[in-house]
Amino acid sequence: MADDPRGRSVPSGRLSRFGLFGRMAGGVAGGMLAEGARRLASGDRPKMTDLLLTPGNVTRVADQLAHLRGAAMKLGQMISMDAGDMLPAELTQILARLRDNAHHMPPPQLDKVLREEWGTDWRRRFKFFQAHPIAAASIGQVHRAELPDGRVLAIKVQYPGVAESIDADVDNVATLLRISGLLPRELDVAPLLSEAKRQLHEEADYRRELDMLERYRMLVGEDPAYVVPQADPEFSTGRVLAMDFVPGERIEALEGRSQEERDAAASALVTLVLRELFAWGVMQTDPNFANYRWQANEELPSAGRLVLLDFGAARLTKPETRAGYHQLLLAGLSGNRDEVRAAAVDAGFLGAAAVERHGPAVDAMIDVIIGELNRPGAFDFGDRAFVSVIRDEAMTVAEDRLTWHLPPVDTLFVQRKVSGTALLCARLKARVDIRKMIEAYRNVDPTGCADASI
């Protein structure tokens, strides 16, 4: 998805965004008809999902979502990341483009937004303001700027119309999934859609994100493993968030580094998730790779520091959710299949129908997970041999739509962070002693977190 250096205007009006959704649906339908005709001519009888999930259609949808930005692109990112190893490799590769840079606003549109937020003479307040963004994502883009006193800031500017389009975008994406047949009508997704809208509205509120940024700085404290930028309230508004510019390299750049350095980064990632769940009671639930940077230490690779960015998706986790994860992890460490199955149902990960109708497949997945978790020494995220076994059993269950089940919404957002973190650790081929890290929380009360007052 090549980014036009001149930028690409964000469609901010309701009609213009609806029109793009219409063209996207029309393009997908045309692709399905063409693919269907081709397969019928060759004697095949393709299923609807075979016609929908072609590389051409996925590319078409990914490009349009990247153009729309906002909630539409964010949902595409979530689907691509949450699917993890469950999507076919070629589709995962295409959808992963939504985790890369989006198209950015052209300079005139950017200037209009900043005039509305800072006034017409905003440029005089800076010694330098880099017009081309250093990053562009689903809800906003980030610029590097220098103040007259020499301080360097990272300034996140929200795309126009994004906040106002959230509800309609979520409904339109859900409609596309319904029409495609990927989302069965029997599944009640209304609570999930409502919560998705709520969180996206929170992510679009940069004043709230500023508060969360400062809260995370307090929670991380002086821990040398992490860096959290300091907010700059003077330049921050509801649609602009300013903070200190923190140097660092893309977390994926560690792929070619030493095992020691990759392990250090993964250890910081996993430690953060466990603290969020069992010590703080608040979690940044968007594990997009772009939300992390790495500050290397050339003299001591294991002493590198993880830079934490983007706190729009930070949210309070419910006590019952934290307790459910705690029970499930301890059951896994015990190696007792029955305890794990019961904990998974209690926490809402598994529906009772799946256990009743596909008990052997469920037990097979549990046995694999218990075996991997209880291997002596460090867990090797780079060894993905067990994933195919779980995927094969999971697909057997997933094909039975009578067992489809939505976990509690809070659990879905927490699991998004857990799954995304595991995906990043796998990308780094890291080795981490997860069992030892979980054991450190064996005797804590997960419902009584230090930051539960949020």
Residues 6+ apart with CB under 8 A from 198: none
Closest CA to 265 of 283, 247, 249, 284: 249
| Beta carbons of 99 and 79 less than 8 angstroms apart | no
Which helix (H) or strand (E) segment holds residue 283: the answer is strand 282-284
Cα of first residue to Cα of last residue in the chain, in angstroms, is 39
Q: Tell me whether residue 85 is one of the annotated catalytic residues.
A: no
Distance CA 351, CA 322 (A): 19
Q: Identify whether the C-beta of residue 274 lies closer than 8 Å to the C-beta of residue 438.
A: yes
- 89-93-98-100 Cα dihedral, nearest 10 degrees: 140
With tokens 């929200």, the residue in question is: 158
Beta-bridged to residue 249, according to DSSP, are 294
Q: State how far the Cα of 339 lies from the Cα of 326, in Å rounded to an integer.
A: 13
What does the block give as tokens for 42? Answer: 């060759």
Dist. CA 251–CA 238, nearest whole Å: 29
- Cα–Cα distance for residue pair 123/119, rounded to 1 Å: 9
The catalytic residue among 169, 205, 263, 286 is: 286
Q: Up-side HSE of residue 220: CA atoms within 13 Å toward CB?
A: 26
Q: Do β-strands 314-316 and 305-308 pair in parallel, antiparallel, or remain unpaired?
A: unpaired
Three-class secondary structure of residue 287 per DSSP? coil
Q: Please state, in angstroms and rounded to a whole number, the distance separating the CA atoms of residues 382 and 164.
A: 42
**428: three-class secondary structure by DSSP:** coil
Instruction: Please state, in angstroms and rounded to a whole number, the distance separating the CA atoms of residues 228 and 243.
Output: 10
Helical ranges in 336-384 per DSSP H: 337-347, 352-357, 359-373
**CA–CA distance, 114 with 108 (Å, rounded to integer):** 10
Strand, helix or coil at 294?
A: strand
Beta bridge partners of 292: 308
Which residue bears the tokens 């659990």?
411
- The pair phi, psi for residue 322, each rounded to 5°, is -65, -40
Q: Catalytic positions, please?
A: 286
